[in-house]
Amino acid sequence: MLISDKIGKPKSLGLKSDGVRRVAFSVASVLLAVAIGGILLKLFGLSAWDGLHGLVVGSFGSLAAIDTTLFMATPIISTGLAVAIAQQAGLFNVGAEGQLYFGAFAANYSRKIA
């Protein structure tokens, strides 16, 4: 039995399809994270706009930046995929940390042989 079975379905946000709800939730999550990051930067006396600009340009500003972003994200993506597969099978995966290390090893090895 899953936790979602116990708590039931969430209240409707007025969105028609499940796909639209998922996209809206993802967009809202990103906007909330950007807002919290901006607030934290302001609290430390830094420019929120410069911080956001640095984040975007540093991650996606050139082909080398995109390559580095994908390289650094590969272990986290591997771990998320492993946990998602186990979750879909109805299992609780307690080995995610080891899978993260293996994903990091595999990403590093594949980059060296390419």
Which of 90 and 5 is assigned the larger pLDDT?
90
- pLDDT for the residue numbered 36: 95
pLDDT tier at 91, thresholds 50, 70, 90: confident
Rounded to an integer, the average pLDDT of 90-100 is 81
The amino acid occupying position 64 is: A
Structure tokens at 90: 């109805």
Q: For the chain, what is the domain count?
A: 2
Q: Biggest alpha carbon distance in the chain?
A: 50
The whole-number pLDDT of residue 32 equals 96
**Region at 8 (left for phi over 0; alpha for psi -120 to 50; beta for the rest):** left
Among 1-15, 16-30, 60-74, the range scoring the smallest mean pLDDT is 1-15
Mean pLDDT to the nearest integer, 48-72? 91
Please give the distance of CA 64 from its chain centroid, rounded to a whole number. Answer: 21
- Co-location of 43 and 71 in the same domain: no
Where is the domain boundary, 59, 79, 103?
Answer: 59
**Cβ(98)–Cβ(74) under 8 Å?**
no
